[in-house]
Amino acid sequence: MRTTTRTAIRTATRTPVDPMAELSDIKNEIVRREIEEFVTRPEEIVRNVALFTRAHERMQAIAAGIIEGDDELVDKLTRDALDADHEALEVMDDGLIAGMGVVGIKFRENFIFVPEVLACARAMKAGMNHIEPILSASGVDPIAKVIMGTVKGDLHDIGKNLCIMMLRGAGFEVVDLGVDTSPDAFIDAIEEHRAPIVGMSALLTTTMPNMGKTIEAFVDAGLRDQVLVMVGGAPVTQEFADDMGADGYGKDALACVALAKKLITEKRRNAPP
């Protein structure tokens, strides 16, 4: 095990984990190798080691299939896990989302690129095809509804789609407006779906200003106080988000989910009784 990995597991204190957890305790060789080789931030090492150490071996295998982008394997392993009476939420959280979390880290750090992410996304979709009907039938309420779209003039959607997949896996209901989304299209969606959160993405520096124009359109339409706006995309920064008047910025899919949870929690906490 790398020194950084061992040190992070034993010294990090902000995340509640088993203090005896070690990378070597993870049964699945693929998951163990991926964490050791590609996860470098101490807090992320701690979180992933803690997650996979407690996860059932079936969940670790599903996560490994996600990481390798093997949709047929993930389809089979998900069905097998459900047939073996594992709860749908366990399969989703400890298998599908956990595996996609590692993929998100690798993508953020430029260890993998769009083609690999697309393969992993297909694998996750194959698993979620079995999970979503179960959750719907059980009457599990979504955390909140989120409207997502790439802004006007921008046709890129890989990052947005990864965020959407992770949001849905985390329990949000997502309305996907696609690419080249005009301010009016965002406004129509807000009015139709009554969503408390709107997410905007841009990959081009030339389309980034359209985030600010869209937020201004929300103000003109009298909707700004009704929605929380989060923005993201490769060229977007926290400073830019602040200048545009956004409520939050997420640098990747993992940050997007964390931000959405934070925003909706704060909104509900501050809501009048």
Cα separation, 128 vs 81, whole angstroms: 13
Q: CATH classification of 145-270 is 3.40.50.280, yes or no? A: yes
- List the domain boundaries for the chain: 3-137, 145-270
Per-residue tens of pLDDT for the chain, all 273 residues: 344 444 443 333 333 445 568 999 999 999 999 999 999 999 899 999 999 999 999 999 999 999 999 999 999 999 999 999 999 999 999 999 899 989 988 988 889 988 898 899 899 989 999 998 998 888 778 899 999 999 999 999 888 988 998 888 788 999 999 999 999 999 999 999 999 999 999 999 999 999 999 999 999 999 999 999 999 998 999 999 999 999 999 988 888 999 999 999 999 998 887
Q: Which long-range contacts (CB under 8 A, 24 or more apart) does 49-52 make?
A: 49/5, 49/9, 49/17, 49/21, 49/22, 49/23, 49/25, 50/15, 50/17, 50/18, 50/21, 51/94, 51/98, 52/26, 52/28, 52/98
Return the pLDDT at 171: 84
User: Pick from 176, 182, 180: which is nearest to 163 by CA?
Assistant: 176
The answer for 245, left when phi > 0, alpha when psi is -120 to 50, beta otherwise, is left
- Segment (H or E) for 200: strand 197-201
62 close to 127: Cβ distance less than 8 angstroms: yes
Beta bridge partners of 199: 148, 230
Structure-block tokens of residue 38: 């590609």
Return the pLDDT at 18: 58
pTM attached to this predicted model: 0.75
Cα separation, 95 vs 63, whole angstroms: 5
Return the pLDDT at 192: 97
Fold of 3-137: 1.10.1240
User: Pick from 87, 80, 159: which is nearest to 126 by CA?
Assistant: 80
